[in-house]
Chains A and B, each alone.
Chain A
Amino acid sequence: MNRPAVAAQARAELLLLVRRGENLIVTMLIPLGVLVFFTRLDAVDTDGRPLEFLVPGVLALAVMATAMVSLGIATGYERRYGVLKRLGSTPLGRPGVLAAKTLTVLGIEVLQAVLILGAATLLGWRIPGGGIVVAIPLIAAGTVAVAGIGLLMAGTLRAEATLGLANGLFLVLLFLGGMAYPLERLPRALESLATLLPAAALSTSLRSALDPGTGWSVSAVVVLVVWAVAAPLAAARRFRWEE
């Protein structure tokens, strides 16, 4: 791997993300807003421990915002502008483009984690030391899963369609993701559907990792892993570098 090339490209991508205000709203403001608003509201039945419920959900929401919405839309437009094509004939190459995008997503996610965990601490949450270690591979799997969905859209649809669909999917997964309120609040049929989606699988698994009081759901972990394998595979098969 051409490391200086990947670093330069990742730097350019971060610059572009920071310049896009709507991107900062989705990746930073919405997760933080959900965390603060629902903690203050204490609207859902969380046994008086709203942060134990909300922090894992908001982390899952942040992963979706970055790895699906932001990555998908940015990549869709890069494909539209011919940027992906042009980069393909430089020494950076297609693997380098992918590596730069991975670095960019990681960079944004680290920043999100710092902000979310920092805000939660200010609100009175206590960081479970061991839980964080278990959460990291789960977040990685969730990132790979929803990045696969984002790239599948970006590499097959027109840029405008990716923009609309990614935002729509973000809302659906927020509502059906067990993030701001428990899945059990959903009607039965919706709840069954929700448990098969990557968002709920990630938020449920993260809750098990971060809150010792919550037991593990094997099916949630299995669903997460299946998405983490299937979505990138589908993206790799269907992705077209030129619109």
Chain B
Amino acid sequence: MHAPQPGGPAIEVRDLRKRYGALEAVRHLDLTVDRGEVVGLLGPNGAGKTTTVEILEGYRRPDGGSVRVLGLDPVDDGRELRPRIGVMLQDGGLHPGLRVAEVLRCFAAFYPDPEDPSALLERLGLVELRRRFVRRLSGGQRQRLSLACALVGRPEVLFLDEPTAGMDPRARTNTWDLVRDLRSAGVTVVLTTHDMVEAERLCDRVVILDRGTAVAEGSPAALRSALSGDLLRFRSSAAIDTAALAAALDLPPEAVAEERPGEYRVQGPTGAALVAGLAGWLADKGFDLLGISTGHATLEDVFLRLTAEDGEAGPRP
């Protein structure tokens, strides 16, 4: 039995590979998650997020590489690991023929030291629904019950596969508050999401997956500034020479792009000098400056740029 280091990382993935027939679902993925960290796996459909999470949960054996959760092998040491993790699957897994309170009480009985089911129902706003059959719940209500089942065993590591999909805005905000509380209590959380706002609000660190491998990793803020920097948008005539403008501004050619006809974006350190340089160059060439705005790139900008199919939707050099 490998004694897990108390201070060691909660999750350690090295060179993970998983293939389904001809499809390489995960390719050479490395991932370390520290205890108490909230890490988001972001990526388009088919990027390998769910496959990765399900390997960590012990559902599938990797084809190559090594995986440790709390120092344990999720498959071989499953009996020891399962009481210490909480799992929320992408689609439910709760029996429609049982009532809300029955489901949660049953799950509570699986764990050695469960939370009080009634208190948990209260926390997730499910008290009035306790006698309702699972089949009569809305998608968002079902997600909340699913989250309750993931939490009832007081997990050290929590896996959430698209936790707020289908929730209304209020339930979503409540769920985020809950996850933040869990982090304060020292719970490690790995979640997958399509939702950039969720990743930005919730995650200490984001790993962007594309076609089975990590293409970027860092805090949401670091990703934004490292990959996109600051952003300036302006409107002018269509089809101006972006490469020439970039050169004039001392920026690499791909830093200036025409997003839509007459609408441009400039990635670079925004400031008076950049604005002055831009305005001067446009005036020299006889173009009008119709509007200008500055701001940070969003995580979505980063995501779309990194995961674009062959750079098709991304900025062209």
Q: Least Cβ distance of A93 to chain B in Å?
A: 6
A93-B79 CB under 8 A given contacts A4-B109, A12-B106, A88-B59:
yes
8 Å CB contact of B94 from A5, A9, A83: A83
- Closest A-chain residue to B57, C-beta based? A89
What residues of B have a CB within 8 angstroms of the CB of A4 in the complex? Answer: 109-110
B59 x A9 contact (CB < 8 A)? no
B82 x A90 contact (CB < 8 A)? yes
Give the CA-CA distance A7 to B108 in the complex, in Å.
12
A7-B98 CB under 8 A given contacts A89-B58, A91-B153:
no
Q: Does any Cβ of B come within 8 Å of A191's Cβ?
A: no
Give the CA-CA distance A93 to B110 in the complex, in Å.
9
B97 x A5 contact (CB < 8 A)? no
Give the CA-CA distance A232 to B189 in the complex, in Å.
39
- Which residues of chain A (53-111) have a CB below 8 Å from chain B? 78, 81-83, 85-93
Give the CA-CA distance A82 to B142 in the complex, in Å.
13
A81-B95 CB under 8 A given contacts A12-B102, A89-B59, A89-B82:
yes
- Which residues of chain B (89-126) have a CB below 8 Å from chain A? 89, 91-98, 102-103, 105-107, 109-112
What residues of B have a CB within 8 angstroms of the CB of A7 in the complex? Answer: 109
B82 x A93 contact (CB < 8 A)? yes
A8 x B110 contact (CB < 8 A)? yes
Q: Least Cβ distance of B70 to chain A in Å?
A: 14
Q: Does any Cβ of A come within 8 Å of B87's Cβ?
A: yes
- Which residues of chain B (37-68) have a CB below 8 Å from chain A? 57-59
B79 x A82 contact (CB < 8 A)? no
Give the CA-CA distance A78 to B93 in the complex, in Å.
8
Give the CA-CA distance A7 to B109 in the complex, in Å.
9
A12-B98 CB under 8 A given contacts A81-B92, A89-B58:
yes
* Count of interface residues, chain A, beta-carbon cutoff 8 Å: 25
Q: Least Cβ distance of A135 to chain B in Å?
A: 33
What residues of A have a CB within 8 angstroms of the CB of B103 in the complex? Answer: 12
A82-B98 CB under 8 A given contacts A91-B83, A91-B153:
no
A15 x B93 contact (CB < 8 A)? no
* Count of interface residues, chain B, beta-carbon cutoff 8 Å: 29
- Which residues of chain A (21-57) have a CB below 8 Å from chain B? none
A16-B97 CB under 8 A given contacts A4-B109, A82-B89, A90-B110:
yes
Task: Pick from B78, B85, B95, B96 the residue with the most CB of A within 10 Å.
Answer: B95
B78 x A19 contact (CB < 8 A)? no
B93 x A16 contact (CB < 8 A)? no
Q: Does any Cβ of B come within 8 Å of A217's Cβ?
A: no
B85 x A89 contact (CB < 8 A)? yes
What residues of A have a CB within 8 angstroms of the CB of B91 in the complex? Answer: 82
Q: Does any Cβ of B come within 8 Å of A20's Cβ?
A: yes
A92 x B93 contact (CB < 8 A)? no
What residues of B have a CB within 8 angstroms of the CB of A240 in the complex? Answer: none
What residues of B have a CB within 8 angstroms of the CB of A92 in the complex? Answer: 110
B107 x A90 contact (CB < 8 A)? yes
Q: Least Cβ distance of A3 to chain B in Å?
A: 10
Give the CA-CA distance A5 to B85 in the complex, in Å.
16
Q: Least Cβ distance of A73 to chain B in Å?
A: 12
A5-B87 CB under 8 A given contacts A16-B95, A86-B93, A93-B78:
no
A85-B106 CB under 8 A given contacts A19-B97, A90-B82:
no
What residues of A have a CB within 8 angstroms of the CB of B105 in the complex? Answer: 8
What residues of B have a CB within 8 angstroms of the CB of A78 in the complex? Answer: 95
A85-B59 CB under 8 A given contacts A7-B109, A12-B95, A12-B102:
yes
Give the CA-CA distance A150 to B296 in the complex, in Å.
59
8 Å CB contact of B110 from A2, A19, A81: A2
8 Å CB contact of B82 from A11, A12, A91: A91
Q: Least Cβ distance of B16 to chain A in Å?
A: 18
What residues of A have a CB within 8 angstroms of the CB of B57 in the complex? Answer: 89
What residues of A have a CB within 8 angstroms of the CB of B95 in the complex? Answer: 12, 16, 78, 81, 83
Give the CA-CA distance A81 to B59 in the complex, in Å.
16
Give the CA-CA distance A87 to B57 in the complex, in Å.
12
A83 x B93 contact (CB < 8 A)? yes
What residues of A have a CB within 8 angstroms of the CB of B82 in the complex? Answer: 89-91, 93
- Closest A-chain residue to B105, C-beta based? A8
What residues of A have a CB within 8 angstroms of the CB of B93 in the complex? Answer: 81-83, 85-87
Q: Least Cβ distance of B152 to chain A in Å?
A: 10
Task: Pick from A7, A82, A86, A87 the residue with the most CB of B within 10 Å.
Answer: A86
Q: Least Cβ distance of A154 to chain B in Å?
A: 15
What residues of A have a CB within 8 angstroms of the CB of B106 in the complex? Answer: 8-9, 11-12
A85-B89 CB under 8 A given contacts A4-B109, A91-B110, A93-B82:
yes
Residue numbers of A with Cβ under 8 A of B are 2, 4-5, 7-9, 11-12, 15-16, 19-20, 78, 81-83, 85-93
Can you list 9 A-B pairs with a CB-CB distance of less than 8 A? A4-B109, A5-B109, A7-B109, A9-B110, A12-B98, A12-B106, A15-B102, A82-B91, A89-B59
5 further interface pairs, Cβ-Cβ under 8 Å (given A5-B110, A81-B92): A16-B95, A19-B97, A81-B93, A85-B89, A89-B58
